Amino acid sequence: MDRKILSVQSVKYKYAGSGWKLDSTSFSVAKGEIVGIIGPNGSGKSTLLKIASGVITPDSGNVFLKEKDISKIKRREIARILGYFPQNTSGHFDYSVQEVVVMGRFPHLSGAGFLSPHDINVVEQCLIRAEVIQYRGRYLSHLSGGERQRVLLASVLAQEPKVLLLDEPTSALDMQHQVKFFTLLSELVEEGMGVGIVTHDLNLASFYSHRVLLLKDGKIIEKGSPKEILSEGILKDAYGDGVAVIPHPTTGIPIVLPSTGLGARKVKES
């Protein structure tokens, strides 16, 4: 059986206003893997993720979710399979943590949308897994950026999706919670989920991804294992000079460091 849950096939997209475009791009996410999507600012990572989750429709090409064309599936049905964690969420009305996580049950509810005991149980589990249960009664506006990102994760998990697409979900998290976040993703993946994650943190991508896509100027320029992609030669192509790659002292996994900066200058001078 094909393990692919999500398959994006030669999609193209052009923004009407700016003229920026995503060139023909393909990738897939299978059960049990984390696909890291990296690349410099404006390389098309978020656009690709929006297309993959059906939030925007590509000008050409197709997205298949469990082998069905996503443009032919109802949004509710998509949401029962695919969880999308957007980069920008700014509500005008203030909801409590619990209310936001309950919103994730939307695709499973009908009518006025009151929760069954099963729904309440799922919400409870998600609050616990994302470690936000202690804030359940607080308003989202009273939380820090990092806490809010964990609440959004809980909300997306409440959909009980088979595949998760996350757009910079850890940008506001501290080191400890970044590691916890990715550990949680690893656990979910072991349970059979597929994850596609856009991140600027190359080291986390290196540590936790099974495969990495590197985007630049609206094109995937490289794809492969973290060891293949996170090399100085390839990263310099995308990010320019200023990156150095060394192996992690204990695991040997590539880690990325800045190669210039005040410290480097001092070393050179001395």
Partner 1 sequence: MTSMLTRKRFLLLLAGYGLLSVVILAGAPFFGSESLGITNITNSIFFHIPHVDTEIFFYQRIPRVLLAFLVGGSLALAGSSLQVVLRNPLAEPFVLGISGAGAVGAVIIISVPGLSIYFGPFSSVQLFSLLGCILCVGAIYWFARSPLGVSMTTILLAGVTINILCGAVIMLVRYIVSPQLLVAMDRWMMGGLDVVGYRELSALLPLLLPGILLLFLQGHSLNQLAFSEEMAMGHGVNVGSVQKQVFLGTGLTTAAAVSLAGPIGFVGLIIPHAVRRLSGVDHRVVLPASFCLGGAFLTLCDLFARTVVAPTEMPVGIITAIIGGPVFFRILLKRSRNM
**Positions in the binding site for partner 1 (CB under 8 A):** 15-17, 53-56, 74-80, 83-86, 88-96, 98-100, 102-104, 106-107, 109, 112-115, 137-139, 152, 155-156, 159
Closer to partner 1 by Cβ: residue 171 or 203: 171
The least distance separating partner 1 from the CB of residue 99, rounded to whole angstroms, comes to 6
Nearest residue (CB) to partner 1, 70 versus 202:
70
Taking Cα atoms as reference points, which of 216, 217, 218, 242 lies closest to residue 229?
Answer: 216
- What gap in Å lies between CA 194 and CA 208, rounded to an integer? 13
Give dist(CA 249, CA 229) in Å, integer.
19
Residue 27 or residue 85: which is nearer to partner 1 going by CB? 85
Closer of 43 and 155 to partner 1 (Cβ): 155
Long-range (24+ apart) CB contacts under 8 A made by 231-235 are 235/202
Query: Between 15 and 248, whose beta carbon lies closer to partner 1?
Result: 15
- CB of residue 93 to partner 1, shortest distance in Å: 4
Is residue 183 exposed (0-12), middle (13-18) or buried (19+ Cβ within 10 Å)? exposed
Reading the block at residue 126, the tokens are: 């998600």
Euclidean distance between CA atoms 261 and 29, whole angstroms: 37
Shortest distance, position 82 Cβ to partner 1, whole Å: 8
Cβ of residue 257: shortest distance to partner 1, in angstroms?
34
CB of 84 to partner 1, least distance (A): 3
CA 18 to CA 141: how far, in whole Å?
Answer: 32
